């Protein structure tokens, strides 16, 4: 009797099904942040949308609430008649996709949190930061919006890149409404949908992502653990802006995170 290897090396590779990605940028950025990753995904045959969420980009209104950001995303999904969507959120966009899923669970194939916040029910995003970061939000002027200082972005979110690249990323950033960080979020329905298995989740963890410092308030595994015992975890090299430094690797991770 011949032992059978669990790996069939002679099995031809099966073509991957075409996925529909909606890539949602994080704070201070626009849909352009996904340019390189979107190109990689399209090259692999997938459909990709990169909306810019209300309150982001130059000259955006600063009097908006977190609800307005979510309404912007929900409106985009409806206006483009999208379904079976792999809805990806980077950084604070984890909160946008969570709330969108409450309204449109039937349109979503899977939620993918890419170094993203999975806020606790009743928390504001600001509550998910270490207490010593509270000063950032206290200094914010609601009339002019909120933008982290360059030094914080450079050392905590751009820690794996040279100064010139970090400087270019920051030059493309704009303030966003303070309320996006300070509004309390009712996420009861979202977590109920996960508990019932009606929304499936994945978490992509860039292993050098320390936008939130390690320890009690680190992003990983804290946020992934909130997304249920069946949350698919995919690790990738890179840091918070891995979409800039390693777009091909992130594209492949997104495919693995979004597949059946």
pLDDT tens-place string over residues 77-112: 999 999 999 999 999 999 999 999 999 999 999 999
Q: Is residue 47 part of a domain?
A: yes
What is the mean pLDDT of the segment spanning 36-41? 98
Calculate what percentage of the chain has a pLDDT beyond 90. 89
What is the mean pLDDT of the segment spanning 216-235? 97
Q: Is residue 8 part of a domain?
A: no
85-90 and 20-24 beta bridge pairing: parallel
Q: Over 90: is that where the pLDDT of 137 sits?
A: no
DSSP class of residue 157 equals I
What is the mean pLDDT of the segment spanning 188-214? 97
What is the mean pLDDT of the segment spanning 65-70? 98
CA 202 to chain centre: 11
Side-chain half-sphere exposure of 98, counting CA atoms within 13 A? 29
CATH code for the domain of 213: 3.40.50.1820
Residue 65 is encoded by which pair of tokens? Answer: 């609430």
pLDDT band at 168 (very low <50, low <70, confident <90, very high): very high
- Contact between 73 and 52 (Cβ < 8 Å): no
What is the mean pLDDT of the segment spanning 41-58? 98
Q: Is residue 51 part of a domain?
A: yes
With vertex at residue 95, the alpha carbon angle to CA 193 and CA 165, rounded to the nearest 5 degrees, is 140
CA 102, 31, 126, 237 torsion-angle sign: positive
What domain range includes position 165? 20-258
CA–CA gap between residue 70 and residue 97 (Å, rounded): 8
Radius of gyration of the CA atoms of the chain, in A = 18
Q: Is residue 4 part of a domain?
A: no
How many folded domains does the chain comprise? 1
What is the mean pLDDT of the segment spanning 231-240? 98
Q: Is residue 6 part of a domain?
A: no
Q: Over 80: is that where the pLDDT of 5 sits?
A: no
What is the mean pLDDT of the segment spanning 169-186? 97
pLDDT value of position 79: 98
What is the mean pLDDT of the segment spanning 170-184? 97
pLDDT value of position 140: 82
Residue 188 is encoded by which pair of tokens? Answer: 């009861």
pLDDT value of position 14: 52
pTM beyond cutoff 0.85: yes
pLDDT value of position 15: 63
Calculate what percentage of the chain has a pLDDT beyond 70. 94
Q: Is residue 124 part of a domain?
A: yes
- Contact between 175 and 147 (Cβ < 8 Å): yes
CA–CA gap between residue 240 and residue 128 (Å, rounded): 16
């Amino acid at each position: 009797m011949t032992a059978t290897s669990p790996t069939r090396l002679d099995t031809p590779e099966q073509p991957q099904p075409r996925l529909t990605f909606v890539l949602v940028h994080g704070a201070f950025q626009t849909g352009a942040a996904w340019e390189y990753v979107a190109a990689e995904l399209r090259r692999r045959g997938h459909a990709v949308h990169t909306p810019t969420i209300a309150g982001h980009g130059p000259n955006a209104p600063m009097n908006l609430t977190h609800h307005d950001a979510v309404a912007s995303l929900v409106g985009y999904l409806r206006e483009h008649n999208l379904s079976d969507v792999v809805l990806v959120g980077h950084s604070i966009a984890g909160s946008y996709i969570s709330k969108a899923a409450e309204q449109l669970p039937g349109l979503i194939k899977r939620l993918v949190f890419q170094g993203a916040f999975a806020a606790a029910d009743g928390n504001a995003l600001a509550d998910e930061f270490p207490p010593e970061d509270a000063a950032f939000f206290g200094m914010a002027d609601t009339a002019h919006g909120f933008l982290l200082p360059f030094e914080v972005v450079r050392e905590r979110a751009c820690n794996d890149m040279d100064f010139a690249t970090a400087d270019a990323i920051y030059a493309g950033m704009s303030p966003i409404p303070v309320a996006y960080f300070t509004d309390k979020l009712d996420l009861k329905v979202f977590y109920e949908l996960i508990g019932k298995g009606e929304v499936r989740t994945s978490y992509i963890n860039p292993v050098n992502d320390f936008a939130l410092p390690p320890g009690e308030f680190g992003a990983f595994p804290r946020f992934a653990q909130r997304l249920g015992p069946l949350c698919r975890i995919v690790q990738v090299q890179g840091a918070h802006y891995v979409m800039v430094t390693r777009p091909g690797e992130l594209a492949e991770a997104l495919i693995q995170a979004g597949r059946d």
